Amino acid sequence: MTLDILTLSRRSVAAATDAAAMVEEIARSFMDTLAVAHAGRNEPVLRKLAALYGAEPAMPEHQALFNATAAHALDYDDLQFASVTHVSAVIVPALIAAAHAAPSWPQPRAMASAYLAGLDTARQVGTALGPAHYAAGWHATSTLGPLAAASAVARLWQLPLDQTRDALALATCQASGTQRSFGSMAKPLQAGLAASAGLRAAAWARQGISGPEHPFGAGGFETLYGGRHDSSPAPDDAPFLVDVGRKAYPCCYCAQRLVAAALSLRQQLQGVEGGIAPQAVRNVTIHAQEGTLLPLRITQPRDGNEAKFCADYVVAAALLDGGVGLRHFEAASLQRADLAALRGRIRVLQHGPRAGSIEDGVVWAQCELADGRVLQGAEIKYFPGSTQAPLTEAQLEAKLLDCHGGNDGAVQALKHTVRRWLGLSA
Amino acid sequence: MTLDILTLSRRSVAAATDAAAMVEEIARSFMDTLAVAHAGRNEPVLRKLAALYGAEPAMPEHQALFNATAAHALDYDDLQFASVTHVSAVIVPALIAAAHAAPSWPQPRAMASAYLAGLDTARQVGTALGPAHYAAGWHATSTLGPLAAASAVARLWQLPLDQTRDALALATCQASGTQRSFGSMAKPLQAGLAASAGLRAAAWARQGISGPEHPFGAGGFETLYGGRHDSSPAPDDAPFLVDVGRKAYPCCYCAQRLVAAALSLRQQLQGVEGGIAPQAVRNVTIHAQEGTLLPLRITQPRDGNEAKFCADYVVAAALLDGGVGLRHFEAASLQRADLAALRGRIRVLQHGPRAGSIEDGVVWAQCELADGRVLQGAEIKYFPGSTQAPLTEAQLEAKLLDCHGGNDGAVQALKHTVRRWLGLSA
Compute the average pLDDT of residues B253-279: 93
Q: Say which of B175, B180, B213 has its CB closest to residue A215.
A: B180
Burial A14-23 (b: 16+ CB within 10 A, else e): ebebeeeeeb
pLDDT tens per residue across span A255-275: 999 999 999 999 999 989 888
Q: Do B138 and A210 touch (CB under 8 A)?
A: no
Burial B177-195 (b: 16+ CB within 10 A, else e): bbbbbeebbbbbbbbbbbb
Average pLDDT along chain A: 94
Q: Which chain A residues touch B59 with a CB distance below 8 Å?
A: 59
Residue A231 has a pLDDT of 64
Q: Which residue of B has its CA nearest to A139?
A: B173
> Which of left, alpha, beta for A344 (phi over 0: left; psi -120 to 50: alpha)?
alpha
A213 touching chain B per CB within 8 A: yes
* Spatial distance between the Cα atoms of B283 and B29, rounded to a whole number of angstroms: 39
Residue A155 has a pLDDT of 98
Interface of A with B in 36-65 (CB under 8 A): 45, 48-49, 51-52, 59
Task: Give the other-Cβ count within 10 Å of A92's Cβ.
Answer: 30
Q: What's the burial of B389, exposed, middle or buried (CB within 10 Å: 0-12/13-18/19+)?
A: middle
pLDDT more than 90, % of chain A:
85
Q: Do B181 and A174 touch (CB under 8 A)?
A: no
Residue A127, CA distances (Å) to A117, A357, B103 in order: 15, 16, 49
Residue B96, CA distances (Å) to B5, B62, B78, B144 in order: 25, 12, 17, 19
Output A218 or A200, whichever has higher pLDDT: A200
Residue A222 has a pLDDT of 93
Half-sphere exposure of residue A15: CA atoms within 13 angstroms, side-chain side: 37
What residues form DSSP beta bridges with A367?
A: A284, A375
Q: Do A172 and B180 touch (CB under 8 A)?
A: yes
Q: Which residue of A has its CA nearest to B215?
A: A180
Torsion of CA B66, A139, B139, B84, to 10 degrees: 110
* Spatial distance between the Cα atoms of B10 and B7, rounded to a whole number of angstroms: 5
Compute the average pLDDT of residues A134-163: 97
Backbone phi, psi, residue A330, to 5°: -95, 160
Q: Do B173 and A169 touch (CB under 8 A)?
A: no
Residue B292 has a pLDDT of 85
Q: Mutation test of the interface with chain A: which of B53, B69, B180, choosing the one with the most A Cβ atoms within 10 A?
A: B180
pLDDT tens per residue across span B319-367: 999 999 999 999 999 999 999 999 999 999 998 888 777 777 899 999 9
Q: Do B173 and A189 touch (CB under 8 A)?
A: yes
Q: Say which of B52, B190, B212 has its CB closest to residue A173.
A: B190
What confidence category does residue B219 fall into, taking pLDDT thresholds of 50, 70 and 90? confident
Q: Do B189 and A169 touch (CB under 8 A)?
A: no
Output B393 or B55, whichever has higher pLDDT: B393
- Angle, CA A317 vertex, CA A312 and CA A321 arms, to 5°: 155
Strand runs labelled E in B206-334: 281-289
Q: Where are the domains of chain A?
A: 5-224, 253-384
Cβ contacts below 8 Å, chain A against chain B, sum to: 134
Task: Give the CATH architecture of domain B253-384.
Answer: 2-Layer Sandwich (3.30)
* Spatial distance between the Cα atoms of A134 and A358, rounded to a whole number of angstroms: 13
Residue type at position B358: I
B169 touching chain A per CB within 8 A: yes
Helix axes B5-14, B108-129, angle to 10 degrees: 150
- B83 neighbors B122 (Cβ within 8 angstroms): yes
- B137 neighbors A224 (Cβ within 8 angstroms): yes
Asked whether the predicted pLDDT for residue A162 surpasses 70, the reply is yes
Q: Say which of A207, A210, A224 has its CB closest to residue B138.
A: A224
Interface of A with B in 122-141 (CB under 8 A): 136-138
Average pLDDT along chain B: 94
- Rg of the Cα trace of chain B? 22
* Spatial distance between the Cα atoms of B94 and B149, rounded to a whole number of angstroms: 6
What residues form DSSP beta bridges with A85?
A: A80
* Spatial distance between the Cα atoms of B420 and A271, rounded to a whole number of angstroms: 84
What confidence category does residue A402 fall into, taking pLDDT thresholds of 50, 70 and 90? very high
Interface of A with B in 228-287 (CB under 8 A): none
Q: Mutation test of the interface with chain A: which of B61, B200, B224, B225, choosing the one with the most A Cβ atoms within 10 A?
A: B224
- A324 neighbors A317 (Cβ within 8 angstroms): yes
pLDDT tens per residue across span A48-85: 999 999 989 999 999 999 999 999 999 999 999 999 99
Q: Do A45 and B170 touch (CB under 8 A)?
A: no
* Spatial distance between the Cα atoms of B252 and B32, rounded to a whole number of angstroms: 17
Helix axes B20-40, B408-421, angle to 10 degrees: 140
* Spatial distance between the Cα atoms of A51 and B119, rounded to a whole number of angstroms: 30
pLDDT tens per residue across span A201-258: 999 999 999 999 999 988 899 999 998 866 676 677 889 999 999 999 999 988 999 9
Residue B229 has a pLDDT of 66
**DSSP conformational letter for B233:** P
3-state helix, strand, coil in chain A (%, to 5): 55, 10, 40
Which of A85-89, A289-293, A385-389, B62-66 has the lowest average pLDDT?
Answer: A289-293
- B323 neighbors B398 (Cβ within 8 angstroms): yes
Q: Do A137 and B220 touch (CB under 8 A)?
A: yes
Q: Say which of A45, A49, A209 has its CB closest to residue B48.
A: A209
Smallest CA-to-CA distance from B154 within B269, B325, B8 is with B8
CA distance B329 to chain A (A): 21
Q: Which residue of A has its CA nearest to B45?
A: A209
A147 touching chain B per CB within 8 A: no
Rounded to an integer, what is the distance from CA A260 to the centroid of its chain?
18
- A247 neighbors A385 (Cβ within 8 angstroms): yes
Task: Give the other-Cβ count within 10 Å of A206's Cβ.
Answer: 19
Asked whether the predicted pLDDT for residue B233 surpasses 70, the reply is no
Q: Which chain B residues touch A168 with a CB distance below 8 Å?
A: none
CA distance B223 to chain A (A): 9
Rounded to an integer, what is the distance from CA A415 to the centroid of its chain?
19
Task: Give the other-Cβ count within 10 Å of A151's Cβ.
Answer: 36
Backbone phi, psi, residue B81, to 5°: -65, -40
Smallest CA-to-CA distance from B283 within B378, B372, B351 is with B372
Residue B186: partners with Cβ closer than 8 Å, 6 or more residues away: A169, A170, A173, A209, A210, A211, A212, B177
Residue A229 has a pLDDT of 65
Residue A233 has a pLDDT of 66
pLDDT tens per residue across span B285-298: 999 998 888 889 89
Asked whether the predicted pLDDT for residue B59 surpasses 90, the reply is yes
| Shared fold status for A5-224 and A253-384 | no
CATH pick for B5-224 out of 3.40.50.150, 1.10.260.30, 3.40.50.2000, 1.10.4100.10:
1.10.4100.10
Kindly provide the ipTM of the predicted complex, given to two decimals.
Answer: 0.94
Q: Which chain B residues touch A211 with a CB distance below 8 Å?
A: 181, 184-186
Q: Mutation test of the interface with chain B: which of A173, A193, A221, choosing the one with the most B Cβ atoms within 10 A?
A: A173
Residue B356 has a pLDDT of 74
What confidence category does residue A337 fall into, taking pLDDT thresholds of 50, 70 and 90? very high
